[in-house]
Every structure is written in structure tokens, then in C-alpha cells.
């Protein structure tokens, strides 16, 4: 069997692009060319790797078995290319960072600004994704470092807790409790709440944080609406349609502009743990290692002093929607 990297790259690209046409655009090749490449691969394997479906193509049973191995091979090849490039060019090269969108605020920007000043020849690539997607992009070697919420226990990844991001109850400036203090979260039990959809594999834990706070106070049900977009959630809160428990860094601009306010609650102490993710055994260039060190030690992701005593892991709870 003579399975080459081009065949594996074509196979993986078709899968992630959900079709041959889009994959051809990404790879800069004609659709007949990549169709022939997959036909040759399937001929070598003796089984089909794709099956036709209404929305495009899906992996066959054999394709599902091949995928993780193909991704590991391609990631290893990228490691090799990065290692050689680092040896040849010294400070030049590419560093790819993927982060949860709510962490990509002004504090992270300050860390990245320092990094690029120290490494002017580095091509720094930054993208945003959900926590689950962050892990997947690092696993595939498309990003060297990931920043996500909550621990990923997958054995092929290394997750290190680097910070905890404080959360705050956001409300409209006209809300009766805006800018005021409450003794207990229980006082907000009758409010409408907005939160990310309570899906285990995609969650950023915000919905669970809210549920846990009320359940710990003996309140089993609240009124809440799932919202998939952080911006949409903030706009709904600004309109006075409900409240949301959000990372403080995600509402900095709105607080400065006066379009959002917060409610201080004496018995609410909760924060989201932030993890740096790398691929176990993967190659990290000197520049990538430097960025990882900055994220760990110079972190402007959160103000550690404000949440060190406040952080306690949220107790997961599920309420009917």
C-alpha cells in the first residue's frame, strides 16, 4: 500500500469541507483531480471512505476509522515542517493560536502585542472557536496553542489551568438593581435569564453556572432562554428583556459605553477556569513556547488577584427548559 500525504490531505479536507467542490477550492485543484485522488485511495484501501448524503458527503465506516490516523499523520508532518523552518530561519515562522471568542478581548491583545514586538519576524495567526472546537483544531495541528474554558481530559492533549475568568450578572442600565448590591442571588429568581444552549459537548458552562447558583439556594427552576450568540445575548440584555451571567471581560466595552450595567451580589462568587491546550508530543517552536509562557505568566486574560479567592468550580446542574 502506497498511501501518501497528498491523499490523506485530500481525504481530510473533503471531510471538513463537507464536499468535493469546496475541498477543490481550498486545495486549489480541480474537482475531477481530487475525485481521482480519492478513487485511487479507495482502490488502495479496498473500501470506500465516503458515502453520498443529502447534504453532501459523509464518512463511511472505513473513513471514520481512517480519519483520526490521517489527522495525526498530517499534524506530524506539520510539526516536521515547523521544526525545519525554525532551524533554518531562527526567529521567523508561523505561530497559530485559537481561542474562545470571549477571551479575545483587550487583555489578551496586550499579551499578543508584547509577543509580536519580541518576535517581529513571526507570522501570528489568531482564530476564534468554541471550547470543543479549540481542542479539535489543536488536535489536528491547525493551531499550536488553544485557549478554552473547562478541562479537556482527552489523552492526546495537554491542558493546563492558567487563569480563572470572573463572571458578573449583566443587566440593562434601566434595571431597578443596576449598579446596586444584593445580599443573595435568590432575589433574582423571578428574572428572565439568557444563556448559551445547555449542550454538553458545546457548552462554555454559562448555563450550568446559572443553574448551579440557584439550585444551591434551593431554587429548582428559573425562566431562561437559550441564545447561541454572545452578541445577541448582550443586545437582549441591553434591551431590558432579561439578565445574563457573563465573563467580565466580555462586557468591558458595554460597561464603559453605559449600554450595560452589573448587579453586585454578595453571595455570588463564580468564575470560569481558563485552560491552555497543546497537543501531547507535538512540536512547539521556540516562538510558540515563548507565547505559551507569556500566556501563563504575563496573563492579562483576567486579573488573578480579583478571582483567586472568589473562584470555586461550579456544580453542574440541569433544569428543564
Provide CATH 1.10.10.10 ranges for the chain: 5-72
Span of 43-57, 153-167, 228-242, 261-275 with lowest mean pLDDT: 43-57
Cell numbers placing 101: 471568542
Helix runs in the chain, H state only: 5-17, 20-27, 31-45, 61-89, 106-118, 131-139, 206-216, 230-238, 252-257, 286-297, 304-307
Rounded mean pLDDT of 74-94? 70
Provide CATH 3.40.190.290 ranges for the chain: 166-271
Reported as a single tens digit per residue, the pLDDT across 122-168 is: 889 999 998 889 999 999 888 999 999 889 999 999 999 998 888 89
Average pLDDT taken over every residue of the chain? 83
Q: What is the fold of 166-271?
A: D-Maltodextrin-Binding Protein; domain 2 (3.40.190)
pLDDT at 115: 92
Query: What are the beta bridge partners of residue 124?
Result: 95
The angle formed by the CA atoms of residues 206, 212 and 215, to the nearest 5 degrees, is: 145
Measure Cα distances from 169 to 40, 246, 265 in Å: 57, 6, 8
Q: In degrees rounded to 5, what are phi and psi of residue 219?
A: -110, 110
Q: What is the CATH number of domain 90-163+272-307?
A: 3.40.190.10
Q: What is the length of the chain?
A: 321
pLDDT at 179: 92
Architecture of the domain defined by 5-72: Orthogonal Bundle (1.10)
- Please determine, for residue 299, whether its predicted confidence score (pLDDT) is greater than 70: no
Could you identify the residue written with the cell 431554587?
A: 219
pLDDT at 54: 73
pLDDT at 311: 30
Q: Pick the more confident residue, 186 or 105.
A: 186
User: Residue 288: how many CB atoms within 10 A of its CB?
Assistant: 23
In angstroms, the CA 285 to CA 144 distance is 9
Cβ atoms of 7 and 40 closer than 8 Å: yes
Provide CATH 3.40.190.10 ranges for the chain: 90-163+272-307
Q: What is the dihedral of CA 256, 125, 94, 70, to 10 degrees?
A: 140
* Three-class SS state of 152: coil
Please classify residue 179 by burial: count the beta carbons closer than 10 Å to its beta carbon, then call 0-12 exposed, 13-18 middle and 19+ buried.
exposed
Amino acid at each position: 500500500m502506497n498511501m501518501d500525504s497528498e491523499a490523506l490531505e485530500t481525504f481530510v479536507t473533503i471531510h471538513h469541507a463537507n464536499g468535493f467542490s469546496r475541498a477543490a477550492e481550498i486545495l486549489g485543484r480541480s474537482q475531477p483531480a481530487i475525485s481521482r485522488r480519492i478513487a485511487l485511495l479507495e482502490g488502495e484501501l479496498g473500501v470506500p471512505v465516503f458515502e453520498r448524503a443529502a447534504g453532501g458527503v459523509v464518512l463511511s465506516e472505513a473513513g471514520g476509522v481512517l480519519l483520526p490516523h490521517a489527522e495525526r499523520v498530517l499534524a506530524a508532518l506539520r510539526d516536521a515542517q515547523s521544526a525545519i523552518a525554525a532551524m533554518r530561519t531562527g526567529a521567523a515562522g508561523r505561530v497559530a493560536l485559537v481561542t474562545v471568542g470571549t477571551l479575545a478581548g483587550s487583555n489578551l491583545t496586550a499579551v499578543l502585542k508584547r509577543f509580536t514586538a519580541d518576535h517581529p519576524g513571526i507570522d501570528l495567526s489568531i482564530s476564534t472557536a468554541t471550547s470543543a472546537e479549540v481542542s479539535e483544531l489543536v488536535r489536528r495541528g491547525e493551531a499550536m496553542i488553544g485557549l478554552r474554558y473547562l478541562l479537556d481530559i482527552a489523552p492526546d492533549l495537554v491542558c493546563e489551568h492558567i487563569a480563572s475568568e470572573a463572571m458578573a450578572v449583566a443587566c440593562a442600565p434601566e434595571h431597578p438593581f443596576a449598579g446596586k448590591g444584593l445580599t443573595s442571588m435568590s432575589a433574582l429568581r423571578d428574572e428572565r435569564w439568557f444563556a448559551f444552549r445547555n449542550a454538553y459537548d458545546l457548552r462554555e458552562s454559562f448555563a450550568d453556572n446559572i443553574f448551579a447558583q440557584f439550585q444551591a439556594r434551593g431554587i429548582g427552576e428559573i425562566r431562561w432562554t437559550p441564545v447561541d450568540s454572545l452578541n445577541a445575548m448582550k443586545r437582549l440584555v441591553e434591551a431590558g428583556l432579561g439578565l445574563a451571567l457573563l465573563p467580565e471581560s466580555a462586557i468591558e466595552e458595554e460597561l464603559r459605553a453605559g449600554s450595560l450595567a452589573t448587579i453586585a451580589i454578595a453571595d455570588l462568587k463564580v468564575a470560569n477556569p481558563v485552560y491552555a491546550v497543546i497537543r501531547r508530543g507535538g512540536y512547539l517552536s521556540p516562538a510558540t513556547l515563548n507565547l505559551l509562557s507569556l500566556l501563563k505568566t504575563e496573563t492579562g486574560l483576567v486579573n488573578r488577584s480579583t478571582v483567586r479567592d472568589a473562584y470555586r468550580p461550579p456544580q453542574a446542574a440541569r433544569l428543564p427548559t
